[in-house]
Structure 1
Amino acid sequence: MHSESGGEQEDERLTECLVRFEHMLAHDDQYYFDVADLEELIDHYMERLDIDKAWKVLELASNQHPHSREFELKRADILGLKGDYEGAMKSIALLEAIMPNNPDMLITKGSLYSKLGKHNKAIEIYNRALETAENKNDVRLLLSFEFQSLGNQLEALSQLKMGLLNSPNDQGLIYEISFLFDMMGENDSAIAFFTKYLDEHPYQYNAWYNLATFYIKKRDFKTAIWALEFTLAVSDKHLMAHQEIGDCFLEIDKWDKAEEHFNEVLKIDEDNPDALIGIAECSEGREDFELAFKRYKDIADTDAFHAEAWYGMAVVREKQERYDECLPYIEKALEIDATDPEYWTFLADLKEQGSQFEEAIEALEKAGEIAPEDVTIWIAKAELVFNHVDRQLGIEVLMEALKISPENAELHYRQSALLLASGQVSEALHFLQNGLELDYNKHILLFEQFPDAINIPRVMDLIQIYGQ
């Protein structure tokens, strides 16, 4: 209670100072402020990026407390925000001559070098600050950012891990470690790290939550649910854990369990749009299409700019084979959000069903521009062009996809199928061999797309060689 009371008193003090300072400016008057109050005012305006007022406070501070070193550091901070790095460095030089090992001064100096793009120099300065800083984790975080700027993700991660070793309950570090693993695409390494961490700190619910997110990225939804259940065992009001566990149950067609967790989200946040969408998806999964449509419509009626609700209505009508009703809903979704490739691929399917092949291709091209590494879009476009426009052009579409994702086995099998269908057996065998070398088990894709391949001896011989 004492700390809460102290915090309230500090807030009241800051509010009083703000009122006095704003009144002083408005009436061109002069009031006295002590050093601590002026520092609070400068920090307040800097946090809100109101640099002009922060500078006015600094000028007042310099007049009222000309010998205070604290304001020289604030001067460097403000000049840095204004982009006057030369002026900021001059202020730092004055301070460094007096207190060369002051961590706050060194952190400001390091940040200036960082803004100038001199990341190695910033690292050198931050390492000096690390020796005397009271909160070493703040400095390690800055070091991590610098190593990230240099493209050295492993050292960036190492800095964060060292920080967590010294402060195992630092939630900020847990978040940053998770973010960095995600950015590196190191799902397995992240799982190994958080599993080991949780062996020693089993009550860290955010670590359980982060562990679950990496299982989700691997589409291991059952294990993700296990980790999320531990999250909720420690923190039963963890909104995102309920949401994610609901989404995981959706992925494995456990509609009742999913809806149960979405309802838990609504107990915490009664208008949560993600949970409402999830509940509508549960109805859709049970094939209660009219209820699903009503739930999507209720969301759109409440928030006309909720693209996913409009998309949901389009999907439901498509599943009901009421194709003529789909188009207005998907067009509305795209009007709100034209950056979701899933909406464009859905539109392409509708156009293809209506034999509007050119418009279908245009929709897939839009999707491909948004998600160029999504091979399913390339495959859909290639098949559409191959079947309805020109076979050779369809083959060329997959050649473009292979330039982007040359290690994707499915693309090689799909290309082999198209070439076989067009009678280009020798060329098809080349791509079949590539696919077999990359992932033998996916060769079933060849027969799914071109069943007659089973009747071509050279194809079967090649598959048999790699299957030995």
Structure 2
Amino acid sequence: MNLSHEEEDRSLSLSKFESMLKTNKVFFFDSEEFEDIILHYLDSGKINLAKKALKLGLEQHPKSTGLKLVQVELLVFDDRLDIAERLLNDLYAIEPTNEEIYIQKANIYSKRDQHDKAVELLHVALKYTDDYADVYSLIGMEYLFMDNLEQAKESFIKCLEEDTDDHSALYNVVYCFDFLDQNLEAIDFLNSFIDRNPYSDVAWHQLGRQYYAVNNFEQALRAFDYATLIDESFLGAFLEKAKTLEKLKRYEEAIGCYNITMELDDPTSFALLRVGKCYERLGDHEKALKFYLKTVHEDPLLDKAWIAITDFYIRRQNYQKALYYANKAIGIDNENKMYWKRYAVINKALNFHEEAEEGYRKAVEYGDYQLDTWLFWTDTLQFLGEYETAANTLLQASEYYPEEYEVEYRLAGLYFMMHQEDKGVFHLSNGLRLNFKNHVLLEEFFPTIWENTTVQETIKKNRAK
């Protein structure tokens, strides 16, 4: 690879500087060389070497404004803001039109959470800078800190008007559109940007994401196609393209795209899982299972993969194997409501009612408040003869579903079973009020109390209403 003259010079300066450190000889560097060396170490996260270079640089060039500004940057990095501010005031007295002074002052205000003052100083910097894109980007970031997404968006757009290759600004603009739920506006902006920059793979990729968000999968696919044509190694675009092909039910093509991502980089658990899903939808169950098993091998903690295998066997009514994988999942994460729900469903199918009851109970305990979970849990408790526990559980459910007839009819039946007729009549009346035609649920779930005189009279009275 041919290095540019600038890169060659920097490489030589770095070699010379590191040689000086090893030999304790003192070599001369001009101030700009020192600046490059210090900034290189800062970018590399080698703060101690940056500080050594700064110290030597200031010894050789004590009046260099550039080096003093780098010194300010390091002071700000160390949160020594008062010292940095005093040094900047001294520099301002010497060079009041140096935009970097205003940028660093803005950085100090930003560190102090005074973002509005930082923005004011950055607007002053705009008067003196040649690098408008960088300053607009900094202004955008300050507005992000203030949660002013509209102003941030406008600033990043101005940045892109100055430098269309600033991918960071482009991502930030789209982030603002996303945060503001402005997908259609984002689509208009990106189409306009692409008109001026037709070979921007990042813009095509982001356009595809916006079309995907509004369920326009055909246009999303077109955008991802362009992104991958421009950059044949654009991993993210191939992933998004594969997801879009899935949405369009073009599963074989989706598999092809996922395979490309696995050629570009190590296979991810996400890609392996999606390939498994595609094969299952194509009816190739052997290959589907193979990829599901590869997924859990790649990432044993990926709950979606364990659920996929469990569901694979549930769909085939192979409940013994489904139970094995549900137990494996619970062994990894025993506080996962999805695992416990599957565990309950499988045990219910196997007529292991005590285990099913535990599964539903744990699912609710860990945050599954779906109506069917409550109902299956209480139906299981009823089957086990635990009427009082079932009734108390349904009363909990009624806090989440206060106007749900299925809860009321079950409560009515349970109270009649426990010979608490007043409570039974109360909940039966509620159920009849909420949904009269489904009162047959009472007969379905509690056939022994269906002919009860009070039950029949309550139904007759409410029918008359």
TM beyond 0.5: yes
Match of 2:247 among 242, 251, 267: 251
CA distance in 2, matches of 1:426, 1:269: 61
CA distance in 2, matches of 1:427, 1:10: 85
- 1:253: how far off? 2.8
Match of 1:231 among 200, 215, 227: 227
- 1:177: how far off? 0.9
- 1:51: how far off? 3.1
| Match of residue 146 from structure 1 | 142
| Match of residue 394 from structure 2 | 391
Say if 2:204 is the partner of 1:198. no
SS in structure 2 of the partner of residue 424 of structure 1 = helix
In structure 2, runs of 5+ residues without a counterpart are 348-352, 381-389, 410-426, 442-458, 460-465
Give a deviation string over 1:108-145, Cα, whole Å, max 9, x none: 11111101101111001111112222221111111111
Say if 2:19 is the partner of 1:20. yes
CA distance in 1, matches of 2:66, 2:261: 47
Map residues 111-150 of structure 1 onto 2, 5 A cutoff: 111-150=107-146
SS in structure 1 of the partner of residue 283 of structure 2 = coil
Contact 1:144 / 1:157 at 8 angstroms: preserved in 2? yes
Task: Say if 1:105 and 1:258 are closer, same or farther in 2 by CA, change over 3 A.
Answer: same
| Match of residue 315 from structure 2 | 319
Say if 2:341 is the partner of 1:348. yes
| Match of residue 359 from structure 1 | 359
Contact 2:269 / 2:296 at 8 angstroms: preserved in 1? no
Give a deviation string over 1:52-100, Cα, whole Å, max 9, x none: 3322322222222222222211111111111111111111111111112
- 1:199: how far off? 4.2
Aligned letter for 1:348? K
Contact 1:194 / 1:207 at 8 angstroms: preserved in 2? yes
Aligned letter for 2:344? K
Contact 2:10 / 2:33 at 8 angstroms: preserved in 1? no
| Match of residue 5 from structure 2 | 6
Map residues 43-442 of structure 1 onto 2, 5 A cutoff: 43-269=39-265, 271-301=267-297, 309-330=305-326, 344-354=337-347, 355=353, 356-363=356-363, 366=366, 378-379=370-371, 381=373, 383-384=375-376, 389=390, 390-398=393-401, 424=430
Larger radius of gyration: 2
Aligned letter for 1:396? E
SS in structure 2 of the partner of residue 154 of structure 1 = helix
SS in structure 1 of the partner of residue 317 of structure 2 = coil
CA distance in 1, matches of 2:234, 2:116: 40
Task: Say if 1:424 and 1:303 are closer, same or farther in 2 by CA, change over 3 A.
Answer: closer
Contact 1:345 / 1:364 at 8 angstroms: preserved in 2? no
Task: Say if 1:305 and 1:37 are closer, same or farther in 2 by CA, change over 3 A.
Answer: farther
CA distance in 1, matches of 2:338, 2:296: 21
CA distance in 1, matches of 2:195, 2:365: 48
Give a deviation string over 1:237-280, Cα, whole Å, max 9, x none: 43222221211222343211211222333343364554333322
Could you tell me the percent identity over the aligned residues?
Answer: 23
Match of 1:31 among 26, 29, 39: 26
Aligned letter for 1:395? S
CA distance in 1, matches of 2:185, 2:346: 44
SS in structure 2 of the partner of residue 31 of structure 1 = coil
CA distance in 2, matches of 1:379, 1:154: 40
Task: Say if 1:44 and 1:363 are closer, same or farther in 2 by CA, change over 3 A.
Answer: farther
CA distance in 2, matches of 1:284, 1:14: 59
Contact 2:330 / 2:339 at 8 angstroms: preserved in 1? no
CA distance in 1, matches of 2:346, 2:362: 15
Task: Say if 1:127 and 1:5 are closer, same or farther in 2 by CA, change over 3 A.
Answer: closer
Aligned letter for 1:58? L
CA distance in 2, matches of 1:195, 1:382: 49
- 1:206: how far off? 1.9
Aligned letter for 1:287? G
Give a deviation string over 1:177-196, Cα, whole Å, max 9, x none: 11222233332332232233
Using the TM superposition, name which of 359-368 and 221-230 deviates more: 359-368
Contact 1:306 / 1:336 at 8 angstroms: preserved in 2? no
Contact 1:101 / 1:128 at 8 angstroms: preserved in 2? no
Contact 1:378 / 1:398 at 8 angstroms: preserved in 2? no
CA distance in 1, matches of 2:432, 2:165: 61
CA distance in 2, matches of 1:257, 1:86: 60
SS in structure 1 of the partner of residue 208 of structure 2 = helix
SS in structure 2 of the partner of residue 66 of structure 1 = coil
RMSD across aligned positions (CA): 3.5
Give a deviation string over 1:322-380, Cα, whole Å, max 9, x none: 333335545655776899xxx64244233244243343343355466xxxxxxxx6455
TM-score by length of 1: 0.74
Contact 2:217 / 2:244 at 8 angstroms: preserved in 1? yes
CA distance in 2, matches of 1:311, 1:195: 39
TM-score by length of 2: 0.75
Task: Say if 1:215 and 1:230 are closer, same or farther in 2 by CA, change over 3 A.
Answer: same
Give a deviation string over 1:378-434, Cα, whole Å, max 9, x none: 4555555675543332231357xxxxxxxxxxxxxxx556577565369959xxxxx
In structure 1, runs of 5+ residues without a counterpart are 369-376, 400-414, 430-446, 451-455, 457-468
